[in-house]
Structure 1
Amino acid sequence: MSKKINILGVDDKPENLLALEAVLEDLNINLIKASSGEEALECLLRVDCALILMDVMMPGLGGYETAKLIRSREKSRQIPIIFITAINPEQEHVFKGYDCGGVDYLFKPIVAEVLRNKVSIFVELFQQRKRLKDKAQELQIANDHISMQQQELCQSEVRFRTAFEQSFQFMAILDPAGRVIELNKLAQKLCGIYTGSLVGQFLWNICWVGQDDENMKLRRAIDRAAEGECICDEATFTDIKGSTRFLYRSVSPVKDESGKVVYITVQGHDITDKVIAENEKRNLEILLQQAQKMEALGALAGGIAHDFNNVLSVIIGNADLAVNSCDRSSPQLQFLNRIHEAGRKARELVKQILSFSRQAEIEKVVLQPSQVLVESIKLLRSSIPTTIEIVQDIDPQCGAILADPTQYHQIIMNLCTNAFHAMEEKGGKLMIGLCREDVDYRYYHDLGLKPGGYAHLIVEDNGYGIDKEHLEKIFDPYFTTKEKGKGTGMGLAIVHGIVKGHGGVIHVDRKDNEGTAFHVYLPLVNREGDQKEEPLDVLSYGSEHILLVDDEEPLLEMVKNMLELMGYQVTSCISSRDALHVFEQSPDTFDLVITDQTMPGMTGFELAGKILSIRTGMPIVLCTGYSPNISRKSIAALGIKELVLKPLALDEFSNVIRRAIDQAD
């Protein structure tokens, strides 16, 4: 078994040193522990070490101060130092560490595999430097005793040549000025473009011909090594096949007994696969972070929706009550109608928020896309600067589609927002069109469209356009070319998903630096008569007895007034437990139960289950502002007749109540 190589670990926390020892125990090294900078300096007087793992923040002598003292000593100045820190990896901290003699940084929490790999490399480099130094000493002795040790010298040369040529690393031996003395086969491959003799040439002139930045970086490292410094860094270069490669290298001085630099060794190995793997891991972490953001947004949207829908219920409901109690000739009626309309728009806004965060049920209805488009443009005009002109070409008779109104609005807003960002800097023209497109089999080959009629939406801008190499990625989740803060890369991915979910196709046309046009095709339906809208003042009345349950008093009072306006007899309860007690006393008295879902002590769903266990078939209407665990399928399975999503206007509410009662008769 080979002799263990010493590594010095410096940290004022014993548990951190024990953790380092546990991670590195299988590397055949001896971890010497020092709890302070002072103790580390004392250890280095007694023990030779291949590497120092140094904590930055320590009482007394900190990591940077200790590193400076280590570098000031002849015996220890060549020992590589890796700083370990929990502070933010800001440039000023990193540069300070390098100025103090550090060769690398590890940031807490430390990834065990990264630590083992880095330590293994430095241990291996230490061993190789020691072998090269020993070899240089052997050669010097051989020069003094050449006649007596000729055979041993030859054998030594064979061993050296075998290790040198068969090494898996790039290896070069230079004179102190940086001229090539020896290159192994891997090193010669890096100089494959250069023609002529390699020996005697400056390494930075022959290594990567035409890659000036990397060669200048190599020259600076060799110059520092000529002054006695050890340098470890990474190089990025293009190989003879045109592929980008990554090389981890060390540039080290070899000194004679007097301390004079007699050779410089350059060693390195290809870490391209490792870099690619780390980049892939980093990208996956970014995707995970984005997914977590979306999850958090969904939770936030749900909370907002629940509270805001309760507020909107009071606003819309009281506006309905005021309209119905107001004389039709009253000048106040127009103001009440505006309140009611604003409440409806706010309700649609909440639906958009829930749709974006994937928290809302998709409800496809037959709709006129031209109407949604006109309303969306009104909203868009107020949110983008006047430097962008909006040009409309909308055919109101293009036909009807079967779609979720909120999601169709989302398609429009996302595409128009992207167009706005493309023209934000210089202004421009945003062209929005809608027409009927009757396609035949030719379109199937071009766009994948089946023959038939389509509502063709066009959103076109004259901004900076989309680069050709990005065209295939624009619908990928989280792909974005926008600067940080301008987008998450989810907009077009969501649009693509919505269009596909509605049986349509989205296509993009681009011109270099001349703008972009998105084309959305959604199939038309011949069911325009299915879309029925009842006027606001058409109410369904009744005289039945209703048990009303809600834990918010303003909402409870407003709904009670609504029901009494429709002619119903109402018993109201402000808690689910009170309501259950009232129902248990006289279950046959009531014709309908209307209950809120989110209540303390007992939810509406739980209350409904207890009521149905007392009286099977009891008509129940469950109301909710937002409940992710409640769906129409789950309430139907329990036996609840209707699910009402707040806020609901008076006319809609009256029809739901009447339908629930009549179905039970």
Structure 2
Amino acid sequence: MPATISLKIIVVTMVVLLLTLMGSALGTGMLFSKEYARALESRALAIGQSLESQLNRLLNLNIPLQDLSGFENQCKAVVDRFEGISYAMVVEPEGRILFHSTPAKHGRSLDVPVELKTALGDNRPWVRRVGPFYEAIIPIFNGMVDYQGTLHIGFPVESINAKIRGLLISSSIIGMIIALYSVLVLFLSLQSMVTRPLKSLIALMQAIREKRSEIQSSKIITRKDEIGQLTAVFDGLMQELNTSRSEVEKHAGHLETLVTRRTEQLRHANHELLEEVKERHEAEKRFRELFENAPVMYVITQNQPGGPIVTNCNGLFTATIGYERDQIIGSKLGNFYTHESRKQMLLEGGYERALEGTFISEERQLLTREGRVVDTLLQAVPQSDSSGRIIGTRAMFLDVTDRRKSESEKKELLARLQRAEKLESLGVLAGGVAHDLNNILSGIVSYPELLLMQLPDDSPLRKPMLTIQKAGDKAAEIVQDLLTLARRSVSTRQVININDIILDYLSSPEHAKLLSFHPNLCIDIHLDQQLLNISGSPIHIRKTIMNLVSNAAEAQTDGGQIIITTYNHNFDLPQMGYEQIREGDFVALEISDQGCGIPKEDLERIFEPFYTKKVMGRSGTGLGMAVVWGTVQDHQGYIDVRSQPDEGTTVVIYFPVTRMPRTRNQDAIPVSQYTGDGQTILIVDDIKEQREIAASILQRLNYASASVSSGEEAIAYLQSHAADLILLDMIMGQGMDGLETYRKILEIRPGQKVIIASGYAETERVKQLQKLGAGQYIKKPYTIEAIGMAVKNELDSSSIRTGEVQG
């Protein structure tokens, strides 16, 4: 059962009354006990002073206190006569009991406190508590001068306490009666003034809560106190509530209509919102797909004091850089640039211009995790937040590495083309000079050989003639260098091993002469014993080795080391060096030195004819590296040059290998094996000296000869004369050349035997001529053995060539 307000008020009131009454009773008891104790003390003091007066009278008679007999009876009489007095006794100053109302206690000793002695010495009475008693102590003096002892009157503490308990019990009973009466009156008053009106209000409130229509007014309570005021306020609230209820019921239908309409509007708006969210999700999905699958590297950055920080990037950027996305995001964008691109970004303010929106496409180099450099084209625009504040950039990197590589290769090809064209033009010039020199040298080279065949061994002219022959041979070598440069020299190929040519050169007089100029030079060779063979010209390969060793020696004027190395090498893929090298198997010839090196600006010109920085007259004519280039090109090889100033130079030449066995060296052929039997040889050459030289050699070899100076003369001659063999010059200054002449000859002399002679290399027109039936090709200047063997072999050929005549 819940506690009511009246019950709570009654309980509180009762507690307050009880506490008040108990406090009042307690205070009254304490006050009474104090007054009663004070009265006992006064009474005890009065009795004690009465006894003390009797003792003083006796002491004034000069009777000592010890001699007063029968005084204990007086003490006992005092105890018997006065109610509440427990004992009386006389104590000497030393504390011994002299007289006591109880005789058994005579002679006992007491402890006299110092403060008591002080008080008694001042002739002041003293009250103290001793155990269950209060003592009134009066000092005894003889004639008010001599202190004789003390008189003690004792009354029990319990008598005071008993009085106090009785008083408290009486006060408590009276207080309980008063409290019960007060509670009864208060209860009846609260029932009438508080409980009943509140119950009426509670009933009305309950009816309001239950929404009963029979709610009645509470004006039956007409009091003017707080309850009445509360009732009046509640009546006002009731009227307002009834009015509000009617208004609420009136507007309820309208509100339901509005709610229904608004609900439909919200449902439609919610549907549109869901459609918009769906479209945004689709747009975000398309954007993410476009972002991730974009053909360019896409990076979003945020501006920070230490530099732009990557906040997002697409898959192509992570795949190109080689880092995971979580390793990239949060890092500085500059961390993925090369040092040069970071420097460019800082110096040119590229990021600041991107934030301002003035950035134009620029080149940047990215550095991958593996250290590979990626050339890119960068475009960047500002990135703003929802408030329009610029917070970073959106950057797109287009990988242009392949394009740059293609442009670089194109530049390299163009440079090689220009270099080849330049060498070709110089080669044409050198070829023309060589052709003229060949004609001049023919007499110097050929006549000494003819004269030596006619001179006895002890002739004094033999030595000068040998000197002339050697000089002619050296001049012919220079001409051959020019022809090699022009790529017009006769290409006599055979299967060779470069190791043999290297060893042959190192034991040659030319190499010994080189070492005489460079006595402090050390040459180390590392030759692969399993080196494969190549197909080529031993003379030109030897010349190439000699030129490269000579250059290496000249680069080390104070002595040094030259390392000659050979090895087999395979390229699985095309390689780019000084020029592009195709894939395949190659024999590598590597010659390196520790000399002064070649500056970068000179490296592109080292193969130009007559371009040299060596000592002229000692080391050559300036054709050495040009001859090397021409030899390499003639052998379908490749050359790579690596050089650094003050660090030395390394030249590597790659020759295509052949699987054919090595060609054996042939011994000198005796003249008797290529002498003739008087056959007629028609010499066709536009140079008179060449005709005379050839005629002299052929006559010496027992052949008959006839000479003409042009193709037209040759045709005219053959129309009326026969020739067993024609020695046909390939290039003639006037009229028809060798090919056209042979075509005309075949028209009148089908199957006519012909050998071709020229100072140039084998050309396409020479090949066409041989397809028509022409025989061996020999080079100028002539040697007896070369022209003799060519003529002999062609004449001994049993087949009659019937080449197709081409107009």
Normalised to the residue count of structure 1, the TM-score between the two structures is: 0.51
For the 8 Å contact 2:730–2:756, the answer to whether it is kept is yes
**Relative to structure 1, is the Cα distance of residues 334 and 431 closer, same or farther in structure 2, using a 3 angstrom cutoff?**
farther
Residue aligned with 2:691, SS? helix
Give the secondary-structure state (helix, strand or coil) at the position aligned to 1:628: coil
Task: Report what 1:338 is aligned to.
Answer: 467
Matched residue, 2:374 = 245
1:103-114 pair list within 5 angstroms: none
- Native 8 Å contact 1:621 1:641 kept in 2: yes
Residue 319 of structure 1 corresponds to 448
- The alignment partner of 2:390 has SS state of strand
1:234 has 2:363 as partner:
yes
Paired residues for 1:61-460 under 5 Å: 167=291, 168=294, 170-172=298-300, 183-186=311-314, 198=330, 205=332, 207-208=334-335, 214-219=341-346, 220-224=349-353, 229-240=358-369, 242-251=371-380, 263=390, 266-272=393-399, 274-283=400-409, 286-287=412-413, 289-290=415-416, 293-294=419-420, 297=423, 300=428, 306-324=435-453, 329-347=458-476, 360-364=490-494, 369=501, 372-374=504-506, 378=510, 382=514, 386=518, 389-391=521-523, 404-409=537-542, 412-413=545-546, 416=549, 424=556, 427-430=559-562
Q: Secondary structure at the match of 1:248?
A: strand
Question: Which of the pair is proportionally richer in helix?
Answer: 2
Deviation, 1:576, is 1.2
Q: Provide the C-alpha distance between the structure 2 equivalents of 1:181 and 1:389, rounded to a whole number of angstroms.
A: 60
Q: Distance in 2 between matches of 1:394 and 1:262?
A: 71
User: Matched residue of 2:763: which SS?
Assistant: coil
What SS does the corresponding residue of 1:482 show, helix, strand or coil? strand
Post-superposition offset of 1:551:
1.0
Amino acid at match of 2:518: T
Amino acid at match of 2:335: W
Alignment pair present for 1:653 and 2:653? no
Q: Distance in 1 between matches of 2:675 and 2:470?
A: 21
Give the letter aligned to residue 728 of structure 2: T
**Residue of structure 2 in register with 1:88 after alignment:** none
1:579 is paired with a residue whose SS is helix
**In structure 1, C-alpha distance between the alignment counterparts of 2:516 and 2:355, rounded to whole Å:** 61
Q: 1:317 to 1:241 in 2, by over 3 A?
A: closer
SS at match of 1:208: helix
Change (3 A) 1:343 1:615: same
Quick check: 2:445–2:469 contact (8 Å CA) kept in 1?
Answer: yes
- Which residue does 2:712 correspond to in 1? 577
- Relative to 1, partners in 2 of residues 1:291 and 1:229: Cα closer, same or farther, differing over 3 Å? closer
1:552 corresponds in structure 2 to 687
Q: 1:157 to 1:249 in 2, by over 3 A?
A: farther
The size of the alignment, in residue pairs, is 441
Query: Cα deviations across residues 552-592 of structure 1 (Å, max 9, x unaligned)?
Result: 233233333444555655432211102211221x223x444
User: For the residues of structure 2 that align with 1:182 and 1:164, how far apart are their CA atoms?
Assistant: 19
Cα 1:197/1:240, change in 2 over 3 Å: closer
Match of 1:597 in 2: 730
CA contact (8 A) 1:253 1:265 kept: yes
DSSP 3-state at the match of 1:286:
helix
SS in 2 for 1:593: strand
Amino acid at match of 2:469: H
Alignment of 1:614-653 (within 5 A): 614-629=748-763, 637-653=771-787
Deviations 1:431-478 (A, max 9, x none): 6799xxxxxxxx9xxxxxxxxxxxx999876749xxxxxxxxxx9946
1:501 aligns with 2:658: yes
Distance 2:511 2:470 in 1: 15
Query: For residues 539 and 161 of structure 1, what CA distance do their matches in structure 2 show?
Result: 94
In 2: Cα distance, 1:375 partner to 1:196 partner: 64
Q: Which whole-Å CA distance do the structure 1 matches of 2:789 and 2:343 have between them? A: 80
Quick check: 1:430–1:459 contact (8 Å CA) kept in 2?
A: no
**Compared with structure 1, are the counterparts of its residues 223 and 383 closer, same or farther at alpha carbon in structure 2 (3 Å cutoff)?**
farther
The Cα shift of 1:549 comes to 1.6
SS at match of 2:731: coil
Q: Highest CA radius of gyration, 1 or 2?
A: 2
SS at match of 2:493: coil
Counterparts of 2:433 and 2:483 in 1: how far apart (Å)? 10
Q: Provide TM-score, normalisation by structure 2.
A: 0.43
Q: Residue 340 of structure 1: SS of its match in structure 2? A: helix
Structure 2, unmatched stretches of 5+, are 1-272, 528-532, 569-586, 596-635, 800-807
Distance 1:392 1:533 in 2: 37
- One-letter amino acid of the counterpart of residue 601, structure 1: G
Q: Is the 8 A contact 2:730 2:766 kept in 1?
A: no
Q: Hey, what's the Cα distance between the residues in 1 that align with 2:368 and 2:495?
A: 59
SS of equivalent residue, structure 1 residue 640: coil
Q: State the distance in 2 between where 1:346 and 1:164 align.
A: 79
- Specify the SS of the correspondent of 1:378: helix
1:531 alignment counterpart: 667
* Deviation of the 1:279 alpha carbon: 0.4
Q: Distance in 1 between matches of 2:588 and 2:311?
A: 65
The 1:559/1:573 distance shift into structure 2, 3 A limit, reads: same
Instruction: Find the counterpart in structure 1 of residue 642 from structure 2.
Output: 481
Cα 1:209–1:326 shift into 2, 3 Å = closer
SS of equivalent to 1:271: strand
SS at match of 2:643: coil
Question: Quick one: distance in 2 between partners of 1:433 and 1:626?
Answer: 33
| Structure 2 counterparts to residues 24-63 of structure 1, below 5 A | none
**How many angstroms does 1:531 deviate by?**
2.4
Q: Give the CA deviation at 1:362.
A: 3.8
Aligned equivalents of 2:502 and 2:309: distance in 1? 78
Question: Do residues 492 (structure 1) and 492 (structure 2) align?
Answer: no
Output one character per residue of 1:583-638: Cα deviation in whole Å (capped at 9) or x when no partner.
21x223x4443221112322223323433443345443321222533699765653
Return 5+ residue gaps in structure 1 as ranges: 1-149, 396-400, 435-442, 444-455, 465-474, 504-522
1:95 — aligned with what?
A: none
Q: Deviations over 1:8-33 (max 9, x none)?
A: xxxxxxxxxxxxxxxxxxxxxxxxxx
Residues 345-397 of structure 1 deviation map (CA, whole Å, 9 limit, x = unaligned):
454565566668876434328997588424767169549973861558999xx
Corresponding letter in the other structure for 2:759: G
1:304-350 Cα distance to aligned partner (Å, 9 max, x none): 65444334323312333454566655544323222323433454565
Residues of 2 paired with 1:376 and 1:156: CA distance?
89
Match of 1:66 in 2: none
Q: Which amino acid aligns with 1:649?
A: T
CA contact (8 A) 1:253 1:262 kept: no
How big is each residue's C-alpha offset from its partner over 1:98-144, in whole Å with a ceiling of 9 and x where there is no partner? Answer: xxxxxxxxxxxxxxxxxxxxxxxxxxxxxxxxxxxxxxxxxxxxxxx
Percentage of identical aligned residues: 21
State whether residues 173 and 265 of structure 1, in contact with CA within 8 Å, keep that contact through their aligned partners in structure 2: yes
Shift of 1:648: 1.6
